[in-house]
Amino acid sequence: SAKKTASRNTPSPTAAAVDSMPATASLTHEGEAEKVSTDVPPDPDPNLIQAMKSMTDNIVAVIDAKISTVLKAIDNQSSKIQSIVQRVQEAENRIDVTETTCMANETKIQHLEKRVRDLTEQVDDLENRGRRCNVRIISLPEDTEGSNPVRFFEKWIPDYLQVDTKAGKLKLERAHRSLAPKPAQGGRPHPVIIRFHNFQDKQRVMTATTKLFTLNSKLTSSSRDADAPKISFFNDYSVAVVQKRRAFNKMEYALLYPATLSVKVGRARKKFVSPEEMTDLGALTFGENEDGGLRSLYFSSQ
């Protein structure tokens, strides 16, 4: 009976555990509640909230103002760029039209230039045809012809050149000095321009002149006239033809009408219409005299 009483008074382990659990659980719940109560922040200060809101509004306003200025500048630049693009497009269109017009005008100009050259050559040819009966006398002293040049030259030319004529004279239409002021004493005499009535008489005079002229185209004086001036006879050409022929002054040549250089070496013959054409060929060799003048002209074998 004593053992039973002791067993009754001694609690079992299970019962002890059960009895201890509510106490521990209650402690845990109380700690969590206390922890939850400490994590909840206190209510913010209304003044702080108002200050933060005001600061945010100010920042937004400043940013909006800056962005608005930038957007206005961008819009302005966009308008300018669009205007520039439009002007460039218009300029390109005008350039295209101008280029097209220029190409058409260039063709027309080339045609007109060719036409002008052809007409100029035709006019020059007509002028020179009108001078076919003319002869130009160089180095005749001033006032030699007196007051009646036609009568003087009708007799003087056949006598000077030893040309047989009917009645001892040639038939001339006109004879006069070139139109320029009279030179000073001792100056170079003016050329004399003579127009023959017949072209055949003019050709006879030029043939006789060729026989009496030296290689430098000056008339040789007879022994009794050693001190007489060396007078030269030339065909009368237009200014354009004279300028073209003058380019060949330092060459020995046979110059054909109107301005063509004929060069013959052996059986070979070449004709040139300008000095540049001779230079471009690169097949000609020139010999020089002691005074620097050209004495020979021949074709290179290279």
CATH number at residue 147: 3.30.70.1820
Q: What is the pLDDT of residue 292?
A: 40
**20 falls within a domain:** no
**24 falls within a domain:** no
**108 falls within a domain:** yes
**284 falls within a domain:** yes
User: If you average pLDDT over residues 20-35, what whole number do you get?
Assistant: 50
Q: Chain-wide mean pLDDT for the chain?
A: 77
Q: What are phi and psi of 37, to 5 degrees?
A: -65, -30
**186 falls within a domain:** yes
Rounded to whole angstroms, the Cα distance separating 194 from 151 reads 11
Query: Which residues, at least 6 apart from 176, have a Cβ–Cβ distance to it below 8 Å?
Result: 149, 192, 193
- Render pLDDT for 199-214 as a digit per residue (tens, 0 to 9): 999 999 999 888 876 5
Residue of 65 and 193 predicted with greater confidence: 193
pLDDT-derived band at 2 (thresholds 50, 70, 90) equals very low
**126 falls within a domain:** yes
My answer on whether 214 and 188 are in the same domain is yes
My answer on whether 140 and 125 are in the same domain is no
Q: Is it the case that residue 8 has pLDDT exceeding 60?
A: no
**60 falls within a domain:** yes
Q: Is it the case that residue 191 has pLDDT exceeding 50?
A: yes
Tell me the two tokens of residue 18. 């059960």
**30 falls within a domain:** no
Q: What is the pLDDT of residue 289?
A: 40
- Render pLDDT for 36-47 as a digit per residue (tens, 0 to 9): 555 556 677 888
Q: What is the pLDDT of residue 225?
A: 53
pLDDT-derived band at 192 (thresholds 50, 70, 90) equals very high
End position of a domain, from candidates 210, 236, 262: 236
Domain count within the chain: 3
- Render pLDDT for 212-253 as a digit per residue (tens, 0 to 9): 765 334 444 444 455 556 888 999 999 999 988 887 676 566
- Domain span at 210: 132-236
- Render pLDDT for 95-139 as a digit per residue (tens, 0 to 9): 999 999 999 999 999 999 999 999 999 999 999 999 999 999 999
Q: What is the pLDDT of residue 168?
A: 80
My answer on whether 91 and 170 are in the same domain is no
My answer on whether 260 and 195 are in the same domain is no
Q: Is it the case that residue 145 has pLDDT exceeding 80?
A: yes
* Share of residues in the chain with pLDDT > 70 (%): 70
Q: Is it the case that residue 266 has pLDDT exceeding 80?
A: no
My answer on whether 123 and 148 are in the same domain is no
Least confident of 25-29, 95-99, 275-279: 25-29
My answer on whether 270 and 200 are in the same domain is no
CATH number of residue 259's parent domain: 3.30.250
My answer on whether 139 and 232 are in the same domain is yes
- The model carries a pTM of 0.53
